[in-house]
Amino acid sequence: MDLSSRPPSPARPAEFSGSPAAGTRWWRDAVIYQVYVRSFADADGDGVGDLAGIRSRLPYLAALGVDALWITPFYESPMVDGGYDVTDYRSVDPTFGTLADAVELIEEAHRLGLRVIVDIVPNHTSDQHVWFQEALAAGVSGPARERYVFRPGRGASGELPPNDWESVFGGPAWTRLPDGQWYLHLFAPQQPDLNWEHPDVRAEFDDVLRFWLDLGADGFRIDVAHGMVKAAGLPDVGDAPQSRLLGRGKVPYFDQDGVHDIHRGWRRLLALGPGERIGVAEAWAPSLDRLANYVRPDELHQVFNFDYMRTDWDAAELRSVIEKSLASTGPVGAPTTWVLSNHDVQRHVTRYGGDELGRRRARAAALLTLALPGSAYVYQGEELGLPEVLDIPAELLTDPQLESLKGGRDGCRVPLPWSGNEPPFGFGSGGGWLPSPPEWKSLTVEAQWDDEASTLTLYRRALRIRRDHSALGDGELHWLDGPPDCLVFERSGHSDGPRMLCAVNTGDRSVQIPARGSLLLSSEPIRMEGPNAVLPPDTAAWWSTEPSEEPDTGG
Map 136-167 to HEC letters.
HHHCCCCHHHHHECEECCECCCCCECCCCCEC
The SS3 of residue 422 is coil
CB of 88 to ligand NOJ, least distance (A): 16
Crossing angle for the helix pair 199-214 and 259-271, to the nearest 10 degrees: 30
The catalytic residue among 282, 344, 388, 490 is 282
Give the CA distances from residue 17 to residues 115, 275, 369, 463, in Å, rounded to whole numbers and listed in that order: 10, 11, 28, 20
**For ligand NOJ, the closer CB: 110 or 343:** 343
CA angle at 308 for the pair 452 and 345, rounded to the nearest 5°: 80
Distance of CA 546 to the CA centre of its chain: 34
| Residue least distant from ligand NOJ (Cβ) | 84
CB of 25 to ligand NOJ, least distance (A): 26
**Residue 282 annotated in active site:** yes
**Residue 239 annotated in active site:** no
CB of 122 to ligand NOJ, least distance (A): 10
Q: Which residues bind ligand NOJ (CB under 6 A)?
A: 81, 84, 121, 187, 223-224, 282, 343-344
- Element holding 279 (H helix, E strand): strand 278-281
Q: Considering Cα of 408, then 412, then 416, then 422, what sign does the dihedral take?
A: positive
CA distance between the termini of the chain: 48
Is the distance from CB of 336 to CB of 372 less than 8 angstroms? yes
- One-letter amino acid of 122: P
Distance of CA 189 to the CA centre of its chain: 24
**For ligand NOJ, the closer CB: 16 or 89:** 89
Q: Considering Cα of 417, then 422, then 423, then 426, what sign does the dihedral take?
A: negative
**For ligand NOJ, the closer CB: 226 or 360:** 226
**For ligand NOJ, the closer CB: 83 or 373:** 83
**For ligand NOJ, the closer CB: 87 or 539:** 87
The catalytic residue among 29, 166, 223, 490 is 223
Q: How many CA atoms within 13 Å lie on the side-chain side of 22? A: 5
CB of 68 to ligand NOJ, least distance (A): 18
CB of 225 to ligand NOJ, least distance (A): 10
**For ligand NOJ, the closer CB: 16 or 36:** 36
Which residues does 313 contact at the CB level (< 8 Å), separation at least 6? 352, 353, 361, 365, 506, 538
- C-alpha 195/C-alpha 491 separation (Å) is 45
- C-alpha 214/C-alpha 391 separation (Å) is 43
CB of 193 to ligand NOJ, least distance (A): 11
CB of 474 to ligand NOJ, least distance (A): 26
Is the distance from CB of 311 to CB of 274 less than 8 angstroms? no
- One-letter amino acid of 16: F
**For ligand NOJ, the closer CB: 81 or 446:** 81
**For ligand NOJ, the closer CB: 76 or 223:** 223
Give the CA distances from residue 435 to residues 186, 429, 447, 456, in Å, rounded to whole numbers and listed in that order: 30, 13, 19, 22
CB of 30 to ligand NOJ, least distance (A): 20
- C-alpha 386/C-alpha 390 separation (Å) is 12
Catalytic residues: 223, 282
